[in-house]
């Protein structure tokens, strides 16, 4: 069902951060930093995949995502909702259900047999496709999915995520230069603010995490020496 209530962006961001903290999808470790997909260290890590196991939170966040997409992009802006393999698939299905639209998914690479397809499901030429993922860091991983969608003759000018790091200034430019607008529910800054409000972590940990968020590349370089 299409949501009919519209919380403010600020309230959506605060509540999303609160839910991520509640299910311990947010992880801070300043002593033994996590390794990101890029191979670089980080004192913070978020696991949005955990959301699928919490029905009340999952449902609320998918309402929030549908609302954000329609408010930002338009109520009749899309013909197809595509999830990126693998984390984006369940969220794309849930958003498609709410918006009453077909759902497809995009493989990271051709499956190597049969039709060697990257698109699973029915996607047709000239359809306006929304790419849904769990999160984005610097935006780079989205470009391959977008290109695979466009190779079908469909268009893809928007991507929606639950969580956007919000600390790498090149992200929106990377996507924008590729003709893609980014929509999201919350960022690390929202999570940090809520963590401080709740006292979820020690002051020392939060201070170190904040130093990373303010200058991530500098922090990473210092930890790699």
175-207: buried (b, 16+ CB within 10 Å) or exposed (e) per residue?
beebebebbbbbbbbbbbebbeeeebbeeebbe
Tokens of 188: 């690390």
Q: What residue segments make up the domains of the chain, in order of their start?
A: 9-224
Report the pLDDT averaged over residues 197-215.
95
pLDDT of 129 over the 70 cut: yes
**Which of 181, 191, 149, 177 is CA-nearest to residue 69?**
181
As a whole number of Å, the end-to-end CA separation of the chain is 52
User: What's this model's pTM, rounded to 2 decimal places?
Assistant: 0.94
- Neighbouring C-beta atoms of residue 215, cutoff 10 Å: 12
Instruction: Please write the tens of the pLDDT for every residue from 74-97.
Output: 999 999 999 999 999 999 999 999
pLDDT at 114: 64
pLDDT of 123 over the 90 cut: yes
Q: What is the DSSP letter of 108?
A: S
Report the pLDDT averaged over residues 108-133.
89
Instruction: Please write the tens of the pLDDT for every residue from 153-191.
Output: 999 999 999 999 999 989 999 999 999 999 999 999 999
List the beta bridge partners of residue 184: 161
pLDDT of 55 over the 80 cut: yes
Task: Assign domain 9-224 one CATH number from 3.40.50.2020, 3.30.300.20, 3.40.50.800, 3.10.129.10.
Answer: 3.40.50.2020
């Amino acid at each position: 069902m299409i949501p009919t209530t519209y919380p403010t962006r600020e309230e959506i961001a605060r509540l999303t951060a609160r839910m991520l903290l509640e299910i311990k999808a947010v992880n801070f470790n300043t002593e033994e930093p996590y390794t990101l997909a890029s191979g670089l260290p980080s004192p913070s890590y978020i696991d949005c995949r955990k959301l699928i196991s919490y029905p009340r939170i999952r449902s609320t966040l998918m309402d929030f995502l549908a609302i954000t997409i329609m408010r930002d992009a338009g109520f009749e802006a899309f013909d197809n909702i595509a999830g990126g393999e693998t984390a984006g698939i369940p969220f794309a299905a849930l958003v498609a259900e709410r918006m009453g639209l077909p759902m497809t998914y995009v493989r990271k690479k051709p499956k190597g047999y049969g039709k060697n397809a990257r698109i699973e499901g029915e996607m047709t030429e000239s359809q306006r496709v929304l790419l849904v993922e769990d999160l984005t860091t610097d935006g780079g991983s989205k470009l391959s999915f977008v290109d695979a969608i466009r190779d079908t003759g469909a268009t893809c000018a928007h991507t929606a995520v639950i969580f956007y790091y919000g600390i790498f200034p090149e992200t929106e430019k990377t996507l924008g230069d590729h003709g893609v607008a980014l929509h999201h529910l919350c960022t690390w800054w929202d999570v940090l603010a809520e963590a401080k409000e709740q006292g979820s972590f020690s002051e020392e940990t939060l201070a170190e995490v904040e130093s990373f968020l303010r200058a991530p590349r500098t922090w990473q370089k210092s930890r790699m020496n």
